[in-house]
Amino acid sequence: MRSTGSWYDVVDDDGESIRARVRGKFRLEALEIDETNPVAVGDRVAVRIEDEEEQVGTITEIEPRENQLSRRASGKRGLVREHVMVTNIDRAWCVQSTFGPKVNPGFVDRFLVAAETRHIPAGLVINKVDLIGDNERAQEAMDFWKELYESLGYPVVFTSAETGAGVEDFAAALEGAVSVVSGPSGVGKSSLLNAIEPDLDLATSEIGERTQKGRHTTTFATLYQVAGGWVADTPGVREWGLWDMAPEELGGYFVEFVPFIADCRFPDCTHAHEPGCAVQDAVDRDEIAQERYGSYLSILDTVAESHQASRVARWRTQGRPDDPDEAVVDLEDDGD
């Protein structure tokens, strides 16, 4: 239900809460596969009770995961470590807000790509619609994003935790499913869950007046019972760094690119500059939205930088190349 790094809150089949630690071998296995933590929210585990009175135990088994939503770990660890946010989920919801902070399409697209890599159905929630008021330009912008993402197969829900608008629609989307809600701090994730289930009483905070950015109120990802289902509320994320992706792979996770990729001249086309690129031709014909293609190019730059930095970090810290058959080279050697 919750992971704090060293302790884990587990609920058993009878609904009883157990505080547990994890066996050391799982931590070693996590290091071997480049994960920051061996157990994530949503994992199904076996627990051996060590103290019946205090309900404290040890996690002895972790069942294989159906899927997992991940991002690159923060800081320097992100070069060689994966941060698994939540596992075994039915749908991932990216939460944005109309203002304070405003919709960040780049964040949305990174989130959707992360979900696509694990075949997790995803959707978009745009909160704080009450702040639009009579602002016609803002309403047109929100309608544009709704039409764009829905045309790609991603459901979009407009909500207001303040007025209750759209809350029932979002609750219906959560019913009977295991979902995750994620987005930048301040967009109102916890407020939305409180609006659906007032007894949760999750902590919330106002955005900073100067920065227009939210303050972190959710410290650890936690799984809650909401609307007849389970919802993982995650800490606010400033940037969704994509984990372990080569530049030539990115286009396959933009769903509107997929019908055109097979027609590109080069099999490893990055759809950025290569001649004979069917994706670029589709953009020129307005069959792919300019906004999404621009977002793709921006993400591609960071993916390429991260991919190269990760390879260098692995060579230096672990002494292994990405390809087991590829020779380890000294990137600082100026010789031929």
- Tell me the C-alpha distance between 49 and 52, whole Å: 6
pLDDT band at 210 (very low <50, low <70, confident <90, very high): very low
Angle at 108 between CA 240 and CA 77, to 5 degrees: 5
Mean pLDDT over all residues of the chain?
85
Instruction: Give the whole-angstrom CA distance, residue 188 versus residue 184.
Output: 9
Task: Note the pTM of the prediction, 2 decimals.
Answer: 0.84
d(CA 3, CA 222): 7
Confidence tier at 220 by pLDDT (50, 70, 90): confident
Per-residue pLDDT tens over the stretch 262-312? 999 999 999 999 999 999 999 999 999 999 999 999 999 999 888 787 677
* Cα separation values, 232 from 54, 92, 189, 277, Å: 26, 9, 10, 40
What is the tens place of the pLDDT at every residue in 225-250? 999 999 998 876 766 778 778 999 99
What sections of 182-261 are H helices per DSSP?
189-196, 258-261
Q: What is the pLDDT of residues 71-101, one digit of tens each?
A: 877 655 545 577 888 999 999 999 999 998 9
pLDDT tens-digit map of 304-331: 888 787 677 666 656 555 554 444 333 3
334 — pLDDT class (breaks 50, 70, 90): very low
Q: By three-state DSSP, how is residue 189 classified?
A: helix
Classify residue 261 by burial, with Cβ atoms within 10 Å: 0-12, 13-18, 19+.
middle
